[in-house]
Amino acid sequence: MFGFMWKYRTLYLISIPGILYFLVFKYLPLLGSVIAFQNYNLFAGFSGSPWVGLEHFERMFQHYDFIRILKNTLMLGLLDILIAFTAPIILALLLNEIRLVLYKKIIQTVVYAPHFLSWVIVSGIFTGMLSPSSGIVNVILGWFGVEPIYFLGENSFIRTILVGSGLWRDVGWGTIIYLAALTGINPELYEASEMDGAGRWKQTLKITIPALLPVITVLFLLKIGDFMDYGFERVFVFQNPLNITNSEILDTYIYKAGLKQMQYSYATAIGLFKSVVGLFLLVIANTLSRKATGESLY
Amino acid sequence: MIRREHWSRKWFLIANYLFLTGLSLTMLLPFLNVIAQSFSGAAAIDRGDVMFWPVDFTLNYYQYVFDDVSIWRAFGITVYITVLGTLINLAATSSLAYPLSRTEYVGRKYVLLFVLMTMIFTAPLIPQFILMREIHLVNTLWALMIPTAISAFNLIVLRSFFVQIPTELIDSARIDGCGEMRILWSLMLPLSKPALATVGIFYSVTNWNKYMDALYYLNERGLYPLQVKLRELLINDDLVDTGNLPFDIASQSVQGVQMAVILVATLPIIMLYPFMQRYFIKGMLIGSIKS
């Protein structure tokens, strides 16, 4: 065996930099998470900083702000699953009904496009459209006699804006996998059910959706694993002092508490908490799904 | 009965076409609004007169954008990290994807698992930041290229492509006396051009749009890439709306300038989009099925 490995030593040599990359940039920081149990000090380093046990985790849950931020994160995670996860499935089903090839191509080209824009650009476009002085949304509302509303300046609108902008950017992109799964369905199934007198709606329920179910399950499980990861950029770019009460999530808070206020250990504790909860949710969902549908990630 | 079915189907199709056309318009019209405003007079924008066509046509905002050295600088930095960063991405990704695609590589399953684990469990921000500080990457442009050198998703896309290349080709190259490096360089890579293009597109869009990493690892204003600079210009709008601080460019519309910058920053992506489309759908599919 070692002779065999020696014969192909170049293969191993080529792979070393890549493996090192994952070790250094992905696994080493994972080890570095121990500072969550210390009072980490940049100058004292890992070995010189005092150990404090679970102090930071206790502080987290006693902190009134933290509970609110956690609630915001969970709320957005929930909305994300209810709306941003289901919308591409429905859109894919609707696109699948289009028989004019060219028309379908044009629609696809248009709806995929926003995915390539950065969140900074997306926020710029939305901020522009929602601006109380010159935004197109308020201009249109004005035709109906509605006074200008500063949408981004109110806590009550920010969740809708976050979910809406996410939908705008990614709903089309999300259909790609489903559309591919749809083309994989055997057309004979439809022909046979048509003979039996099944209408299009019945076919969708009995053939199309069951065929999509494995893909939906896998993507759903991955989404559950990301429940707490709504995303730093997409929220941060919409934040301002007026909407922060409802828009602060764990990721943005970690950045502010950690990098801005330099509470390194506290921010790491929050980050670790987030990763562990994510993993936990994934394992639970995976087990449930294996029992219920037989589909699972591992 | 059959007739009713027929009619409800017809109504559904009409509604569906209308809905999808409407949806496409909601994707397109915001763009048109941005373009129109970036060419419209300040007064017209402030009155809310500008919809999808410029009013009181002007090139003032573009003039302002092109005269601003700091925007040019940020643009240059973004081009730099996109070009060099993507080259690093491709070199690093293919040099790991190739060995992992070969059955001769004992233990490739474990290495793959080792890579996939990082997709599920990610390290918190602060330890990553401390690492970057320890290896002196903070406040260098390397911070935007090295820590993101390989994405597990793209690695899997490329590996799946390498796996499909027939082993006979590799065997015959070996009989001709080619070493592994030579096989990778003059056989696998040329054969994998479509896959490299796909992965290259994903990487370059990510690099072009890079914002968060710059926020985390760069404090020097001179190093800011375009997205950070853009964000700075956009924030001013909030300040105007909350009445805190006026933009100090007399007789210019803040919004006009912002829309012009948005367009300048998006233009490269819009221009490349038609060429990209061929590749990204395929890559997306391979990546998600395998992972």
Touching check for A174 and chain B: CB below 8 Å? no
DSSP A135: -
CATH of the domain at A174: 1.10.3720.10
DSSP A256: I
Give the mean pLDDT of B26-54: 88
Q: What is the chain A residue with the closest CA to B51?
A: A136
Give the mean pLDDT of B51-70: 88
Label residue A196 by pLDDT band (50, 70, 90): confident
Collect all residues of chain A within an 8 Å Cβ-Cβ radius of residue B237.
Answer: 127-128, 131
**Inside any domain, residue A41:** yes
- How do residues A76-85 score in pLDDT, each as one tens digit? 999 999 999 9
**Inside any domain, residue A15:** yes
Q: Please determine, for residue B245, whether its predicted confidence score (pLDDT) is greater than 50.
A: no
**Superfamily of structural domain B66-291:** MetI-like (1.10.3720.10)
Residue B177, phi-psi category: left (phi > 0), alpha (psi -120 to 50), beta (remainder): left
**Inside any domain, residue A224:** yes
Dist. CA B19–CA A184, nearest whole Å: 25
Q: Please determine, for residue B230, whether its predicted confidence score (pLDDT) is greater than 80.
A: yes
pLDDT of residue A172: 94
pLDDT of residue B242: 45
pLDDT of residue A94: 94
Surface of A (231-250) touching B: CB under 8 A: 232-233, 236-237, 240-242
Collect all residues of chain A within an 8 Å Cβ-Cβ radius of residue B47.
Answer: 134
Full domain range(s) for residue A41: 2-27+34-292
Collect all residues of chain B within an 8 Å Cβ-Cβ radius of residue A182.
Answer: none
- How do residues A92-150 score in pLDDT, each as one tens digit? 999 998 889 899 999 999 999 999 999 999 999 999 899 887 788 988 898 898 888 99
Tell if the CB–CB gap between B258 and A111 is shorter than 8 Å: no
Dist. CA A13–CA A129, nearest whole Å: 53
Dist. CA B125–CA B117, nearest whole Å: 17
pLDDT of residue B247: 47
Give the mean pLDDT of B256-260: 89
- How do residues A239-281 score in pLDDT, each as one tens digit? 998 999 999 999 999 999 999 999 999 999 999 999 999 999 9
pTM score of the predicted model: 0.90
Interface residue of A19, A23, A25, A90 to substitute, partner B, most B CBs within 10 Å: A25
Tell if the CB–CB gap between B127 and A268 is shorter than 8 Å: yes
Label residue B246 by pLDDT band (50, 70, 90): very low
Tell if the CB–CB gap between B102 and A11 is shorter than 8 Å: yes
pLDDT above 90 coverage of chain A, percent? 51
Dist. CA B155–CA B157, nearest whole Å: 5
Tell if the CB–CB gap between A267 and B126 is shorter than 8 Å: yes
pLDDT of residue B252: 66
**Inside any domain, residue A297:** no
Which token pair is B156? 């899997």
The domain total for chain A is 1
Interface residue of B14, B88, B96, B126 to substitute, partner A, most A CBs within 10 Å: B126
* Most distant CA pair in chain A, distance: 82
Q: Average model confidence (pLDDT) for chain A?
A: 90
pLDDT of residue A264: 93
Surface of A (62-81) touching B: CB under 8 A: none
Do B183 and B173 form a contact (C-beta atoms < 8 A)?
yes
- How do residues A89-99 score in pLDDT, each as one tens digit? 999 999 998 88
Neighbours of A215 (CB within 10 A): 20
Q: Which one of A106-120, A143-157, B183-197, B251-265 scores highest in mean pLDDT?
A: A106-120
